Structure 1
Amino acid sequence: MQADGPAIQQFRSWIRSQHLICQGQDFIFETIDHSQLERFEACLNMLDGQVRSVRAIGNWPMGPRRTFKILRAEAAVPRPKGLEIQRYWAERGSFQTRFSEISS
């Protein structure tokens, strides 16, 4: 198995769960879990990618008086690995993340 195999598999999982989408050649990752954001950065590093920006874009309601911040990371992955992820997203991904309704 390739050294980047686990990172590619994790990216595929995030695409299926609608945490990761593509916009042009950029990857957009959204989560409410800071540890997932750290895992995303670690996977990017394994693929020689880089996070361009991270910002809070809204709040996810979790009960009557509880919300979590939605964090959005914008990143780039160089080719050919980035192209492989984009192809997978084109086949199985969505144009919106699971948090799009709240963050728009």
Structure 2
Amino acid sequence: MPDIDYGLALDFVDPADNIARQLRFQLNWAPPGDPRLFDGTGQLVAVIDDTRRPDHGRTQALTRPRVAHADVDAALHGWQTWAMINDTIADLAAIRRALVAAGLT
């Protein structure tokens, strides 16, 4: 499944566990016969992407499956400002709160 990366050069860290993750929207394929490649839905996930960690690749769902990508984008609008802890770290807990408030979990 293809992914849309959010802030690929950033670490998304939940202050509760201090583990750096990447934020990705996993796209769903369009059904057979549909002229689109993807159907506009998917799931936002956080992925541990440190190859030195034994849990490298572990994925944590942040939204329920089959949410509209546009709804995730709307819920996270401006995250590059309000979710940033510093220049390289975004607050994953703040991202989660925005998704819950938008009803996407």
Whether TM exceeds 0.5 here: the answer is no
Higher helix share: 1
Q: TM-score, normalised by structure 1?
A: 0.25
Higher relative contact order structure (alpha carbons within 8 Å, sequence separation ≥ 6): 1
